[in-house]
Amino acid sequence: KMAEKQEEPSNAQNGEPDNAEEGEEKKKKKLKREDLPPFEIVTGERLPAIFFKFQFRNVEYSSGRNKTFLCYVLETQGKESVTSRGYLEDEHAAAHAEMAFFNTILPKCESSLRYNVTWYVSSSPCVTCADRITETLKKNKNLRLTIMVGRLFMWEEPEMQAALKKMMSAGCKLRIMKPQDFEYVWQNFVEQEEGEEAKAFVPWEDIQENFQYYEEKLAEIL
């Protein structure tokens, strides 16, 4: 931390650095040090295609993928049904997107309404988030949650396996995303270029094998 502090030239505020990108980096560094809210959650209608192609890829070793992208469909059933959708992303330094969903998108479940929630998430929740999901589902019997995941996160860890089992026994449905699910996310949650025909989803070459790999692992855990 100390070394990082000294790196920043004191005159960064006066005059733009030549390289705009470098300026962005500095701004980010400054932001990190000044008081950020407890978590920085980026929400939006649709996520950039480049994020989708990298983060959602159902690879076996997810190096460098240290963000969670959570696309949600929230259907609220009362006198009338209302469906809303969007996505959340997080920086892993802070609270995770799963927590943010309960803190910001659905802070409280009205007991008179029923909620059907589907998440399409780049990887399955960590232990803390899985526990929070379990508690939330136990408290709110009117909430149905299905989580579609691209990858399983740290699934070899016994603690993680236990947390996922508890989450499922609390009524959460956990599914591995099939190629069709990735296509659904692509069509519904990913930005398409302005004025162009929507680009067709192009599956990566090992999408089907990786889906089967994770599906087997999930079956073993459960």
Strand partners, 44: 87
Of all residues in the chain, the percent with pLDDT exceeding 70 is 66
pLDDT above 80 (res 161): yes
* 89: exposed, middle or buried (Cβ count in 10 Å: 0-12, 13-18, 19+): buried
* Sequence spans of domains, the chain: 42-191+202-221
Q: What pLDDT digit, counting tens, does each position of 2-52 carry?
A: 444 343 333 433 343 444 444 445 444 444 434 434 444 555 567 667 667
- Identify residue 1 by its one-letter amino acid code: K
Which pLDDT belongs to residue 54?
58
**The CATH homologous superfamily of the domain defined by 42-191+202-221:** Cytidine Deaminase, domain 2 (3.40.140.10)
The span from the CA of 184 to the CA of 195, in Å, is: 21
Q: Residue 222 has what pLDDT?
A: 85
pTM of the model: 0.74
The letter for the amino acid at 79 is K
- Predicted local confidence at residue 12, as pLDDT: 37
98 flagged as catalytic: yes
Query: What percent of the chain stands above pLDDT 90?
Result: 40
- Residues 200-216: b if buried by 16+ CB within 10 A, e if exposed: eeeeeeebeebbebbee
For residue 136, pLDDT beyond 70: yes
Residue pair 40/183 in contact (Cβ under 8 Å)? The answer is no
- What's the average model confidence in pLDDT over 109-131? 93
Q: Do β-strands 173-176 and 81-90 pair in parallel, antiparallel, or remain unpaired?
A: unpaired
Q: Is a pLDDT exceeding 70 seen at residue 87?
A: yes
Average pLDDT, whole number, for the chain? Answer: 77
Residue of 98, 191, 194, 209 marked catalytic: 98
At residue 30, the pLDDT reads 40
Residue 145 and residue 157: Cα distance in Å, rounded? 24
